[in-house]
Structures are given as structure tokens and as C-alpha cells.
Chain A
């Protein structure tokens, strides 16, 4: 019991994932600044932001809305992100527990943060938040099928194996999945799905700063917004780690391999950041077209290639 709580709250759960995620968030902001020829924020900036929101600022409840659900939604999002993080990171760090890393459980848990953002935004009673919530719903509808096809591709490639632990073992015994044509196609599909799940720039229409002023998060302030930031930090770590586990042969934790593990996550975050900095925000209709037609096509081609053994 105590061990399970330790897994959930300290390592590799809430505390560890949030700390690494905060550093990755700094990395993302620093790279964005360097791309724009700026200097960028200091290393501890995400921690200052988080503690300022948590400890200093006042939390305001909207007058027309449901305060309980409004405050419950950030807690749920942190819970969902942490639960998904534990189930991804336990097999990745090779810690054996009763749970062996079922991909479908992880798939469902990864959608909880997005859903709780929608619930919170609709409970706030703000028209701009409602617009953001409806956009987020359409975005989920468009990328979720693609993400499922991506996971199905991995499962087929590994020989009908649903187990994250066994998928990592298969890659470490043989070669990483990204070394084949279908692996590269799946990597492209996965990167764009993660981009949409993290709501980074080409797909950030739900929290568009310029048009609907942060959209789904417009009414959040103080500690509630700090929890949303925390969930975002955790997601920024676990989704790249999930991609590394599925395609790039996971982490090996001895000697020089630790450096490789860090580099792999950093490279995935770097690709996400570069996509975010070189693209404009697209309309929701374009996003739906992009995922439902082009990314699904790519995923289906990858599935056919896997069936023929490439």
C-alpha cells in the first residue's frame, strides 16, 4: 500500500513527472526564444509561475456557473495525467508491479485531462470558454481515431502485444521500431497526435490567446490555474516518454544509456517545439480535415506496410 502510494505520489508519479515536465516546459520556452532570437526565461521560471499562482494569487469563482465542478475539473485533470504517467513510467523505468502496462488503459487515461478541461470550461459560464470547449471537443473527435490507429500499428508491429513492458522488451532485444518505413510513418502520426493532445500551436484553437483570450482557461485564476499548469507540465513529460517507449526502444538505466534516454525525450520535445514555432494556428475545420483525411491515410498506409512485414 505504502509502496503504491510512493509510486503514485513521488516516483515515478506526481512529484517526479511534474518536476521533469517543468524543466521540459522551460526547455520549450527557451528554444522558442532562441528561434525568435530572444534570450528566454531563466531555468526556474516554470516553478516561479506555479508557486506564484498556487500561493500568492486569489482564486475567483465565476458568478454564473457551477463552482463545485469548476474547481473539481483541475483536480481531475491532475489526477488523470498522474495516473497515465504512473502507468507509462513504471514499465519505462523497468519497475515490476502487478500492472504490466496495458496500452488501452493508458489510451483512456490520457484523454481525462482534455475532458476535464472541457467540463471546467463549460461550468464556468463564460461564452468564450464555451467556444473554447466546443473547439476542444471537435479536436478530440478528430485526433482520437488517429491516435488509436497509431496504437493499433504498434500492437500489430509487436505481434498482437498489448503490454507496454513486453513492447519495450521486444525493441530492446531486437531493433527499435522507428528503424523501419512503417515505424517512421507511425512516428510522424504520433508526433502530430501529441502536438494536438498538448494543444501546442498549430492545434491550439481551444486556447487561442489572440481571438478568444485563452478560451477554455479564461475564468481560471490562482490555485485552480496552478493545478491546470501542473497537469500541462506532467503531460509535456509523459507524452514524449510514451512515444519513446513505443517507437524508440524505451529507457535503459545503466551507464551511458541514461544520457541516451534523456536525449531521446529532449529530441521529441525539440521536434514539437520546432513545429510549434514554424506554424500558424489553423482553423478547427482544417484540423479535422488534417487528422481525419491525411493523418488517418498515413496511419492506414503504415498498418498495410506492417501487415506485409516492412
Chain B
């Protein structure tokens, strides 16, 4: 188990699911992959297909239309998969928590492994969250 777990921790490939987001979190996530922060030195890559993903990043408030799509994406992912909720909307619902189309924060729909709060979280906060996630698993 040790060797498998070590390889898994060293090569996390990230798939990015944006709900009804205001795009601030998306920009901060992209910031993590730019030369200044460069997450590839930890083996983290952004992939285009959920079949290749190890981490599912969810940001933005999840409304009733996003809910089915998020569930479908989660069911199509090869296990084991880690789910990370990013931003105030992903963690709790933020200012949309009382809206009529709001379908609940991410952890009411799928199990969440790590929360990174902030509106939007800084890239440093996202990296700190990823480090905690890696040390936990």
C-alpha cells in the first residue's frame, strides 16, 4: 500500500468543474499553474478528461441544473478520486446560499475531501489546501 499511495500522492491530475461561478476562483486556479506558483513541480497537471483525473476541483455555487452534471461527472470518474471544494460558494454556498435555484453546497451532493474557503482563495491558500490533502491521504 505504501508504494501505491506514494505514487498516487506524487502525481495528482486535476480536473476542473466550474459550477455557476463568477470566474474569480477559476482565475485563481489557473494562477496556480502559471510560472510564479508552478504546481507541476509537485506533479500536479490539469487534464481535459475526467477519465484521467485524480482530483475533482469544484468551484462556484451548485444550482439545480449543475447538480445532475456534477453527479454524472463524479460517477464517471475512475476511483479513487479526491474532491476539493474551492471558494466560499463551493464550501458553504456563500451569498447564494438562500437563492431559489441553489441546490446545496458541494458536500450535500458528493463526498468532499478538502475545503478551501475564501472569496476567491489566494493561490497560496489553494497550494496550502492541496498540501494538507496530500498529507492526509
- Scan B79-116; emit 1 where CB is below 8 A from any A CB, else 0: 11000000000000000000000000000000000000
* A/B interface sample: 17 pairs, CB < 8 A: A39-B38, A39-B41, A40-B38, A40-B40, A40-B41, A42-B43, A48-B10, A48-B11, A48-B43, A56-B8, A57-B54, A57-B78, A57-B79, A209-B48, A214-B52, A218-B48, A219-B51
**Number of residues from A at the complex interface, CB < 8 A:** 33
Contact B78 A45 (CB under 8 A): no
Query: Beyond A45-B10, A52-B8, A56-B80, is A38–B47 a contact (Cβ under 8 Å)?
Result: no
Q: Which chain B residues lie closer than 8 Å to A29 at the CB level?
A: 40
Contact B80 A213 (CB under 8 A): no
- How close is B99's CB to chain A, nearest CB, in angstroms? 31
With A33-B38, A38-B38, A38-B40 known, 20 other A-B pairs at CB within 8 A are A33-B41, A38-B41, A41-B41, A48-B10, A49-B11, A52-B7, A52-B8, A55-B3, A56-B4, A56-B7, A56-B8, A57-B80, A58-B78, A58-B79, A209-B48, A210-B48, A217-B52, A218-B49, A221-B78, A225-B51
**Number of residues from B at the complex interface, CB < 8 A:** 22
**B-facing residues in A193-221 (Cβ within 8 Å):** 209-210, 213-214, 217-221
Considering only CB atoms, which chain A residue lies closest to B48 in the complex? Answer: A213
Chain B residues packing against A (C-beta within 8 Å): 3-4, 6-8, 10-11, 35, 38, 40-41, 43, 47-49, 51-52, 54, 76, 78-80
